[in-house]
Chains A and B, each alone.
Chain A
Amino acid sequence: MVMTLAEKIIAAHTDQAEVQAGQFVYAGVDFCLGNDITAPIAIKEFEDAGIERVFDRKRIALVPDHFTPNKDIASAEQVKMLRRFAERHRIEYFFEIGRMGIEHALLPEMGLVLPGDLVIGADSHTCTYGALGAFAVGVGSTDLAACFATGKVWLRVPETIRFMFDGKLPRWSSGKDIILHVIGDIGVDGALYKVMEFTGPTISSLPMDDRFAICNMAIEAGAKTGIIKTDDVTEDYVRGRAKRGYRPCHVNGSPDNIETRSYNASKISPQVAMPSLPSNVCPAEELSHIKIDQVVIGSCTNGRISDMRIAAQILQGRKVHPSVRLLIFPATQETYLQAVREGLMDVFIGAGAAVSTPTCGPCLGGHSGVLAEGERCLSTTNRNFPGRMGHPKSEVYLSSPAVAAASAVTGRITHPEELI
């Protein structure tokens, strides 16, 4: 039987030679994670069950990134729970403020999640690691508690839909535009319970940051995860970072009975998702009349160094529009420092942007940039549901960092071409 990439990785984590879609398995987990919102519930479940030991203290990450630096007493208490649990079980990877980053940017950067891995995370955007050629799924807190105890997860082996891209992306388009375009095409439940495998010459030529952005938003199409096969680009990224041995998974050929959708990447212009669904997508240039109050550049989707670079390239020598607040959140300490070293911070601050230490903050309407009633934000994050970034009657538009930076300058949604 020819297995898909996802099936092959799952099979390698069970005692079976082969698995197939629809089958129910308990699979071994290489790495698991929780954050300051989801891990407290998992810790409580784990402790209430009276289990004394975690399955492997080097295969668990606890990342306080959502309401940190602690926004209030309640969130400080949640982080304290993580810290205490990490101490008690000598968890190797607890990331303290000042040494952290948004989980899905941080763990690949630290070489903690690796090609061929099976990863679970109590956070829906765990699917981001699929960009490394891992099978990585978001789960809930109880799943994480069970994994702390057993190192295993229950899974229904998912079907795969293949998304094939050919052609060269236009100058101002990126991985973000690819994934917004696909979600616009198939809808927010277009890949429900399935794996989205991204493939083809366009994908092979994309750098890792774009691949992470693509897999990050697979969940926004309802998918179990996104995945991209491990190749030289992946290996270059992982080399020098990997904290342990790993085994990339390669498939020979692929099952021919798989649903495949083909796209011409040269036709994918910068895309914007309008309120209040990530599938409500339209080309940026058709929205040039939409005025905005706030722009956010950052998050686990687009807070990496190449995102910072393209934003700086557009903001260089320009000013943020007087009626716009531009907030920039590098996703990790390493990205932050790199941006300082490259002089990007001079550009941001000089342009009139507010720059923050890494945090999820505004992405989930948590803190550091919450929207008031009737306000409109253009954001490089991944969700625009009502109330996502603040008041239930505020609006969120989603785009790439290039469109976000250009729009911050003009005060309305803008294709970067208009400026440059």
Chain B
Amino acid sequence: MRGRCWKFGDNISTDHIIAGRFLSTSEPGALAAHCMEDARPEFHKEVSPGDIVVAGDNFGCGSSREHAPIAMKGCKIGAVIASSFARIFFRNSINIGLPIIESVEAAREIEEGDDVEIDMNKSRILNHTSGKTYSFEPFPQEIRDIIAAGGLMKYVKKKMGK
């Protein structure tokens, strides 16, 4: 996947990603219309499918609301690269199939607007703007199994023999 990068700082909370006042729906399109509103009001209007979100430490901290990764999927975000993720956001993203990557270096060096390509199979990030490449740690096998099945529910169904 390849896209333009949007850069955010540390501790972007689920309240930034989708504020509590918008949670009376779980429909991806409706949530996407308010994605990142309290962090960058223009984001949801200007983001294009395949764009990449790059952030610092503890991305997605705060509530367990799955609405946060759903809103990002609703915006058709290609992937999120961060120095670190808050743990519930991390597992929600795995469970619903929003690609996330932990890389301190890439998160620090990639700039707003950079043109970045990610190769999940080779665990590699290529920044076409700066020419730099980064490799990242692949997930443990158990997590890759969930991703390969297409998310947790599909994985569970397979296991239950449905």
A interface residue numbers (CB < 8 A to B): 24, 37-38, 40-41, 44-46, 48-51, 66-67, 71-72, 74-75, 78, 121-124, 126, 138-143, 145-146, 149-150, 154, 156, 188-189, 192-193, 222, 224, 277, 364-366, 370, 383, 385-388, 390, 392
Contact = CB atoms under 8 A, between A and B. Distances in A.
B96 A142 contact: yes
Nearest to A150: B156
A242 to B, nearest CB: 26
Interface in B31-68: 37-38, 57-58, 61-67
A139 B88 contact: yes
Nearest to A77: B24
Nearest to A124: B64
B20 to A, nearest CB: 4
Contacts of B95: 140, 142-143, 146
Contacts of A188: 11, 58, 61
Given A142-B92, A146-B156, A388 B64 contact: no
B11 A67 contact: no
Interface of B: 11, 13, 15-16, 19-21, 23-26, 37-38, 57-58, 61-67, 70, 84, 86-88, 91-92, 95-96, 140, 142-143, 146, 151-154, 156-157, 159-160, 162
Contact of B66 (A38, A149, A383, A390): A38
Nearest to B20: A364
A50 B157 CA distance: 9
Contact of A139 (B21, B91, B140): B91
28 contacts: A24-B140, A37-B65, A41-B66, A49-B157, A50-B157, A50-B162, A51-B157, A67-B24, A74-B25, A78-B24, A124-B64, A140-B65, A140-B66, A141-B26, A142-B152, A143-B152, A149-B156, A149-B160, A150-B159, A189-B84, A192-B84, A224-B87, A365-B19, A383-B15, A386-B15, A387-B16, A390-B21, A392-B38
Contacts of B66: 38, 41, 122, 140-142
Nearest to A367: B21
A145 to B, nearest CB: 6
B63 A75 contact: no
Contacts of B58: 188-189, 192, 222
Nearest to B90: A193
Contacts of A37: 23, 65, 67
A45 B66 CA distance: 12
Contacts of B38: 386-387, 392
Contacts, number: 143
Given A188-B61, A222-B58, A222-B61, 13 more contacts: A41-B66, A51-B162, A67-B23, A122-B64, A139-B91, A143-B91, A143-B92, A192-B58, A364-B23, A383-B63, A385-B15, A387-B16, A392-B37
Contacts of B142: 24, 154
- Among B25, B64, B95, the most chain A Cβ lie within 10 Å of the Cβ of B64
Nearest to A45: B153
A98 B156 CA distance: 36
Contacts of A154: 91, 142, 146, 152
A366 B63 CA distance: 14
A49 B162 contact: yes
B116 to A, nearest CB: 24
A71 B20 CA distance: 13
Contacts of A71: 24
Contact of A124 (B57, B88, B156): B88
The 9 closest A-B pairs by CB, nearest first: A140-B92, A364-B20, A74-B24, A142-B95, A189-B58, A387-B38, A124-B64, A140-B66, A385-B15
A139 B93 CA distance: 11
B16 A385 contact: yes
B56 to A, nearest CB: 10
Contacts of A40: 26
A222 B24 contact: no
B160 to A, nearest CB: 7
A139 B87 CA distance: 9
Given A49-B162, A75-B24, A385-B13, A193 B87 contact: yes
Contacts of B88: 124, 138-140
A365 B20 contact: yes
Given A142-B151, A142-B153, A189-B11, A366 B16 contact: no
B137 to A, nearest CB: 13
